[in-house]
Amino acid sequence: MSAAEPVPGAAGLGLRGCECCGLVLQSNPVHSHADCPRCGTALHALRPLSVQHTLAWLLTAALLYIPANLLPVMSTYGLGAHESHTLVGGIIELWRAGSWELSLIVFIASIAVPLLKIGALALLAWTAQRRSRWRQRERAGLYRLVETVGHWSMLDVFVVVLLVCMVRFGVIAHVQPELGLLAFGTVVVATMLASASFDPRLIWPSDTAAHEPR
């Protein structure tokens, strides 16, 4: 086989793998949908409506990304004083206070990482929808990178706690979460679900799997 010829995938060889238990078996062309004989999970050459689900979760994350960074994530009350804190405002205050390392950590985890994940998954979904063969190996590496970052997704939520470092508590003080924190948490969950919905096999389109819903 020459290097110019496309390498056939599992679908082209008539094979299907179970996403639950990993069993690989010969697919029956008569029955397009079947269950795994070992664990009962439905077998698909491609995840049904993968691109649509990915784009839906990405749209949700993108719509909530703006209020997540503009609305207050918490409010502090103490001795009659009230102050609200946003993620962006907290990063600026940390920078002005001289905590550059902490400011950088909060910026990367709460702003840069979610935005880059949304952009990377949008690129993967768009090229998969177009059945593009552009830079497939690089896109596969990008997907692996998104999956690796996804293992630390909840870190984006926990960095909000670092904003407490800006608060100097008096004798009587308390902190109250605000809508920005809810929006931010929803953005993180939506990007996680978008990553889980995307089928990386769509990076390698084949004519034999064209009939599968994407």
Q: What is the pLDDT of residues 36-78, one digit of tens each?
A: 777 776 766 677 788 899 999 999 999 999 888 888 877 766 6
Alpha-carbon span 194 to 62, nearest angstrom: 11
pTM above 0.85, yes or no: no
Task: Please report the pLDDT score of residue 4 as a whole number.
Answer: 46
Indicate the average pLDDT of the chain: 75
Alpha-carbon span 174 to 82, nearest angstrom: 10
DSSP string of 91-156?
HHHHHHTT-HHHHHHHHIIIIIHHHHHHHHHHHHHHHHHTT--TTHHHHHHHHHHHHHHHTTTTHH
pLDDT of 199 higher than 90? no
Report domain 49-204's class. mainly alpha
Q: What is the pLDDT of residues 111-169, one digit of tens each?
A: 888 888 999 999 999 998 888 888 888 888 888 888 888 767 666 566 666 555 555 55
Residue 182 contacts residue 132 (beta carbons within 8 Å): no
